[in-house]
């Protein structure tokens, strides 16, 4: 397993990270999560990602039970604050919710601090000064070591850095965007000015587009799969075209490339994300240990993806 710096900063994280969205709770209980996390740790994964929002905090609790057996210094744990409940101050990036949200996350995680706390989304209803000072406070009070953003626009990230410099606050070091062969623009175009200017890294999510890039949806929705178990997500995917016939045709063509390299499409898709030097870590999501083992091998096949293969992939997906 390779370890990459988060942008220009000192923190080093495994190039494959481990995520908990939709899986921890509905699909994986404490015992199965423990087994997969043991396997992840044994294979060099040190980066574990969760949020206050996943399964109403259940994911943080299951993660805490699974990480207990490891030395805290060997782990890089991140959580995200934004969706904390239904009360008027339970969501968003007000100073009140940032502080209370992270306090509650730390209780569920049974930890004194997280390594990275993210603003899970931008919050246009709160002045950037309040957000930046709130994040600065979380770090200076010892509840987090670094902060980042998730799914912010380049303009919002620029504004955050500008305010940090004006107010002498600690700057964000990382953004967490969606990035996969079917969703590329933000990472490859919009963020270009911010990588060098601010030395930010990326911890990217949904490398398999929720499983579409495994080929498992090529002939419909298999029973027990994510889009079968979570109908709201399926509806969203159908509405925004993520699950369109045209996309599935692209996936079928990508499958042929994977076959020619003697790898699984899931491995090709994850390794493809790792080819981007701005990516510090690719967050994996798995609902069983076999998927984990299959996806883990992606790190070893990066070299199979030559420039010609990259061009071939571009020809299919762009
Ligand atoms: P993926 O796009 O990789 O989707 C993961 C899902 O795909 C699995 O749960 C499983 O679903 C299916 N899958 C994975 N591997 C295989 C395989 N080898 N064969 C067949 N099916 C497979 O990642 P996620 O969308 O889960 O994102 C990864 C992590 O990123 C999350 O856990 C979370 O921590 C983070 N994230 C952050 C977000 C943010 O807003 N910042 C948003 C979303 C995720 P199944 O078996 O049920 O079909």
If you measure from the C-alpha of residue 212 to the centroid of ligand 1, how many angstroms do you get, rounded to a whole number? 10
Contact call for residues 119 and 93 (beta carbons, < 8 A)? yes
Q: Rounded CA gap, 183 and 200, in Å?
A: 20
Pocket probe for ligand 1: among 13, 17, 18, 21, the residue whose CB has the most ligand atoms within 8 Å is: 21
- What does the DSSP assignment read for 65-81? HHHTTS-GGG-EEEEEE
Which residue owns the Cα nearest ligand 1 atom 2? 206
Which residue owns the Cα nearest ligand 1 atom 42? 205
Q: What is the pLDDT along the chain (318 residues), one digit of tens a residue?
A: 999 999 999 999 999 999 999 999 999 999 999 999 999 999 999 999 999 999 999 999 999 999 999 999 999 999 999 999 999 999 999 999 999 999 999 999 999 999 999 999 999 999 999 999 999 999 999 999 999 999 999 999 999 999 999 999 999 999 999 999 999 999 999 999 999 999 999 999 999 999 999 999 999 999 999 999 999 999 999 999 888 999 999 999 999 999 999 999 999 999 999 999 999 999 999 999 999 999 999 999 999 999 999 999 999 999
Strand partners, 81: 119
Structural domains of the chain, ranges and CATH numbers in brackets: 3-210+273-304 (3.20.20.100)
Residue whose structure tokens are 């990270």:
17
């Amino acid at each position: 397993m390779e370890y990459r710096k988060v942008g220009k900063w000192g923190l080093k994280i495994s190039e494959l990270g481990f995520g908990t969205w939709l899986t921890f709770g509905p699909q994986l209980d404490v015992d199965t999560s423990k087994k997969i996390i043991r396997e992840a740790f044994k294979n060099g994964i040190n980066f574990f990602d969760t949020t206050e929002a996943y399964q109403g905090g259940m994911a943080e609790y299951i993660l805490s039970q699974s990480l207990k057996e490891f030395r805290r210094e060997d782990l890089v744990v991140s959580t995200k604050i934004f969706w904390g409940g239904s009360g008027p101050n339970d969501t968003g990036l007000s100073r009140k919710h940032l502080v209370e949200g992270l306090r509650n996350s730390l209780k569920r995680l049974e930890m004194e601090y997280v390594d990275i706390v993210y603003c899970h989304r931008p919050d246009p209803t709160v002045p950037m000064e309040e957000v930046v000072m709130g994040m600065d406070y979380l770090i200076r009070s010892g509840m987090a070591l670094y902060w980042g953003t998730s799914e912010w626009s380049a303009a919002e990230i620029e504004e955050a850095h500008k305010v940090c410099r004006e107010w002498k606050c600690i700057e964000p070091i990382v953004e967490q965007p969606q990035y996969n062969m079917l969703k590329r623009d933000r990472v490859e175009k919009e963020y270009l000015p911010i990588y060098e200017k601010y030395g930010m890294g990326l911890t990217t999510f949904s490398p398999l587009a929720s499983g579409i890039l495994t080929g498992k949806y090529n002939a419909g929705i298999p029973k027990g799969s994510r889009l079968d178990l979570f109908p709201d997500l399926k509806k969203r995917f159908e509405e925004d075209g993520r699950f369109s016939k045209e996309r599935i045709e692209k996936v079928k063509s990508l499958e042929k490339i994977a076959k020619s390299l003697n790898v699984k499409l899931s491995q090709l898709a994850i390794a493809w994300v790792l080819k981007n030097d701005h990516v510090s870590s690719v967050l994996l999501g798995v609902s069983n240990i076999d998927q984990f083992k299959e996806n883990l091998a992606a790190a070893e096949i990066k070299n199979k993806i030559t420039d010609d293969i990259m061009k071939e992939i571009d020809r299919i997906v762009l």
